[in-house]
Amino acid sequence: MASQTLIFGIQLAPGDEPRALEQINGDLLVPAAARPKLEKALLAAEEALPPECKEQIQALADARRLLGIVKPDRERERLLNHLLTVRPL
């Protein structure tokens, strides 16, 4: 069984602004507080692009997939909202 050894650690000093950091292996560390903003920005950018921008749409979709961001299905949400509506008879 191989053991893992921490080569270096990154810690924030009090008062530091949270920032994304790239590790030696190329991984990007994103602060938890930035994740919702990043998700919202990626989804908004993807929705704003016209269909003829296929390369840019694919690049954004790849970024979403790598970050584990699920694109909401608006039509399904609308349908489920209508299916779950209960009205008195």
Cβ-contact 76, 83 below 8 angstroms: no
Please give the Cα distance from 81 to 75 (Å, whole number): 10
The set of long-range contacts for 42-50, using a CB threshold of 8 Å and a minimum separation of 24, is 42/67, 42/69, 43/69, 43/71, 43/72, 46/71
Q: What's the predicted TM-score (pTM) here?
A: 0.58
For each of the chain's 89 residues, which pLDDT tens digit applies? Answer: 566 665 666 666 777 776 777 777 777 777 888 888 888 988 999 889 998 999 999 998 888 888 888 888 888 888 888 776 667 77
CA dihedral for 78, 79, 85, 89, sign (positive or negative): positive
